[in-house]
Amino acid sequence: MVDLFRPYLNTQLIKEELSKLFDGKTIGEGPRVKEFEEKVANYLGQINLAMASFKVHTVAVNSGTSALHLAYILAGIKKDDEVIVPVLTCTATNHPLLWLGAKPIFADIEPDTLCISADDIESKITAKTTAIVVMHNGGHPCDMRRIMDIAERNNLKVIEDCAQAFGGEYDGQKLGTFGDFGIFSFQAIKHVTTGDGGMLICRNEGDAKRAKKLRWYGIDRDLRRERNTLIPDKFNPFWQRAMTFDVEETGFKMHMNDIAATIGLCNFEKINEILNQRKLFANIYRKELTILESGFNIKLLEEQPGHANWLFQILVDNVYKFQEFISLRGIETNQVQIRNDYYKIFGGEKLNLPNMNSVETKYVSLPIHNNLSEEDIYSVVDAVKEYAQT
């Protein structure tokens, strides 16, 4: 079986580093978490040509969903606000909006990329709109130049959901650094995994500091450590009839721990190899399948520089017939995500979104991950070619 997904781990290094960690005294949120935050911040800042003065601030959390939740809070999204979101995304993009009492307003997609349509974003803006959420579908960059222009003209916050796009770029700048906030996911099958985890990206230090408080019950851990230095029972909130620290805002339990951060640091060592191999596989698919676009009812999505290649998606005449045919040849495929307006919690009603309507029974993802070989990729190519000739 050629699997659609499989976790990729730098196994030997992970075993060595976890062994060192377990010999110490900290496995909760500790120095490894901070190191992982710094590593990601430095990586995102390597190519930042459009914003030379922009310093990335990172906050490690327990999931990409938690990072989104924090981003929405920091963006000031509140009850009854309207937030424009892509209709085609993981539901994790939109759940935190419901938690805040906000209303997701679904925008159509671009049929050649499956990313949110900038034109439809503009048509959905009302007096209640407070933010735009973009999701770089499968690792394909959204049209950030236009989207940021729309946001600036309408005084709207932009949150980049980069759960599928770690390492991706747009105009030479890392995805996740365009919006007011960005998020990454380190869930099991993402480019870099921590087992499960996420990262919030902030433009300013104040937001990052607030996020670090919110991720752990609203407590400023750095301040708490500083004030408890001379107290025998460290981290005691009450000592000699006085408060040593206080909680001023409702917080959560969203922090990352040193076990997850250690796994992430080890896997991050191979980030260039991970991205290059995925690009190689995507190039093979594109080279071998381009010929099928003429008369075979198979269409490739637009090729964009900076694609992170988390998914390789194609359009076929009938996705259900295609999947059945391919599965009989030992190859796993899937649509991965479906339009969110179908779910009851988001309305449960098919909206009038022409581009989404036109492709909803056509798009499908082919296997692309770092546990595959070139031989595996060519076996998928052969199966797709066989289907095209039926």
Task: Convert the pLDDT of each residue in 91-114 to its tens digit.
Answer: 999 999 999 999 999 999 999 999
Angle in degrees, CA 375, 379, 383, rounded to 5: 170
* Residue that finishes a domain, picked among 270, 299, 324: 270
Band (pLDDT 50/70/90 cuts) for residue 221 is confident
DSSP string of 14-26, one letter each residue: HHHHHHHHHTSS-
68 domain residue, yes or no: yes
N-to-C CA span, the chain:
22
Task: Convert the pLDDT of each residue in 375-385 to its tens digit.
Answer: 999 999 999 99
DSSP string of 337-358, one letter each residue: --BGGGSGGGTSS----HHHHH
Domain encompassing residue 349: 272-388
| Model pLDDT, residue 47 | 42
1 domain residue, yes or no: no
- Which SS3 state, helix, strand or coil, does residue 384 take? helix
329 domain residue, yes or no: yes
- 253 and 264 in a single domain? The answer is yes
16 domain residue, yes or no: yes
**In terms of C-beta density within 10 A (0-12 exposed, 13-18 middle, 19 or more buried), how is residue 229 classed?**
exposed
DSSP 8-class letter at 61? E
DSSP 8-class letter at 116? B
Residue 22, pLDDT above cutoff 70: yes
* Residue that finishes a domain, picked among 270, 292, 324: 270
Task: Convert the pLDDT of each residue in 181-203 to its tens digit.
Answer: 999 999 999 999 999 999 999 99
Residues 92 and 179: their CA atoms lie apart, in Å, by 18
**In terms of C-beta density within 10 A (0-12 exposed, 13-18 middle, 19 or more buried), how is residue 250 classed?**
exposed
Mean pLDDT score of the chain = 93
Mean per-residue pLDDT, 46-51: 47
182 domain residue, yes or no: yes
6 domain residue, yes or no: no
Band (pLDDT 50/70/90 cuts) for residue 49 is very low
Contacts of 216 (CB under 8 A, 6+ apart): 29, 251, 252, 253, 254, 255
CATH number of the domain residue 122 falls in: 3.40.640.10
- 255 and 283 in a single domain? The answer is no
- 155 and 283 in a single domain? The answer is no
Locate 356 and state its tokens: 């989404």
Locate 368 and state its tokens: 């692309």
Q: Are 365 and 118 in contact (CB under 8 A)?
A: no
5 domain residue, yes or no: no
Length of the chain: 390
